[in-house]
Amino acid sequence: MQYYSPIRVYKIFILILSFFLLIKKKESFLFFKPLEPKKLKESISSLGASFIKLAQVLATRADFFDKDYLDELKSLHDELPPMSKKKFNILFNRSINSAIFSKFEKTPIASASIGQVHIAYLQDGTKVAVKLKRFNIKKQVISDIKILNTLNSLFRPLFSHYTKNSIEAVIEEFSNMILQEISFNKELENLEKFSKVYKDSGILFPKAYKEYCNDEVIVMSFMEGFRFDDKEALVRAKIDFRPIIDKLVNFYAEQMLINGFFHADPHPGNLLVNSKGDLILLDFGMVKKISNSTRVSIINMIKAAHERDYELYISSAKKLGTIAYEAPEAQMSEFVERMFDIFSNDSLSATSMQNLAFEVLESTRDLPFKLPQEAIYILRVSAIIEGLGTTYIENFNGIKDILPILQKNIPIALGGKESIIELIVDEIKDTPFFIKNLKSTIKQANEGELKVELSPNQLEWLSKELKGYIKNIILSFAIMLLALFIYLVIPSLQELSIMLFIFAFIKLIYKS
pLDDT digits (tens, 9 = 90+) for 14-31: 888 888 888 777 888 777
Q: What average pLDDT does range 56-69 have in this prediction?
A: 76
Select, from the ranges 297-311, 326-340, 348-362, 406-420, the one with the highest average predicted confidence (pLDDT): 297-311
Please tell me the least confidently modeled range out of 28-32, 89-93, 105-109, 322-326.
322-326
Q: What is the pLDDT of residue 245?
A: 81
Q: What is the pLDDT of residue 208?
A: 95
Q: What is the pLDDT of residue 121?
A: 97
- Tell the burial category of 418 from Cβ atoms under 10 Å away from its Cβ (0-12, 13-18, 19+): exposed
Select, from the ranges 186-200, 281-295, 300-314, 421-435, the one with the highest average predicted confidence (pLDDT): 186-200
What Rg value do the Cα atoms of the chain yield, rounded? 28
Residues 159-182 have pLDDT tens digits of 655 555 556 667 777 787 788 888
Q: What is the pLDDT of residue 424?
A: 44
The C-alpha atoms of residue 78 and residue 113 are separated, in whole angstroms, by: 6
Integer CA distances (angstroms), 447 to 59, 324, 442, 443, in order: 53, 34, 9, 6
H or E element in which residue 297 lies: helix 292-307
The C-alpha atoms of residue 26 and residue 34 are separated, in whole angstroms, by: 9
Residues 381-400 have pLDDT tens digits of 776 777 677 676 666 665 55
H or E element in which residue 219 lies: strand 217-221
Q: Tell whether the model's pLDDT for residue 454 goes beyond 80.
A: no
Q: What is the 3-state secondary structure (H, E, C) of 392-460?
A: HCCCCCHHHHHHHHHHHHHHHHCCCCCCHHHHHHHHHHHHHHHHHHHHHHHHHHHCCCCCCCCCHHHHH
Q: What is the pLDDT of residue 189?
A: 94
Taken in order 257, 259, 264, 266, the sign of the CA dihedral is: negative
Q: Collapsing DSSP states into helix, strand and coil, what is residue 120? A: strand
Mean pLDDT score of the chain: 76
Q: What is the pLDDT of residue 304?
A: 76
| β-sheet bridge partners, residue 115 | 133
* Nearest by Cα to 15 from 114, 1, 111, 48: 48
Q: What is the pLDDT of residue 104?
A: 96
Q: What is the pLDDT of residue 509?
A: 66
